[in-house]
Amino acid sequence: MSRPFCKKCFLEEIDYDGVYRSIREMIDALPEEKRADETEYRRRLNICGTCESLNEGVCMKCGCFAELRAAKSDMGCPHEKHYW
């Protein structure tokens, strides 16, 4: 059984498949009116994918999971250049 993800876990203790599954479940649970449409979501992820602050799916500017942040329509890029 894998442990839940936390900031204090070591990488060897993290179940990456389980982490992604949890993030996907959170995105899917967002009410439709709070979720970015698929085109905007993909646009945001494409930008995040080129950012030097992305590290293993985590935005190093704010510590969030980039996929979850990009899915929320009312969220913006935390980088000082505000890429999206």
The structural domains of the chain, with segments of one domain joined by +, span: 36-84
Q: Where are the alpha helices (DSSP H) in the chain?
A: 16-29, 38-49, 66-71
**In which region does residue 4 sit, left (phi positive, over 0), alpha (psi from -120 to 50) or beta (all else)?**
beta
pLDDT at 10 > cutoff 70:
no
Residue 50: the pLDDT is 95
What SS3 state is found at 77?
coil
24-42 pLDDT tens trace: 999 999 999 999 999 999 9
Distance separating alpha carbons of residues 61 and 30, to the nearest angstrom: 23
Residue 81: the pLDDT is 95
39-82 pLDDT tens trace: 999 999 999 999 999 988 999 999 999 999 999 999 999 999 99
Residue 1: the pLDDT is 45
What SS3 state is found at 28?
helix
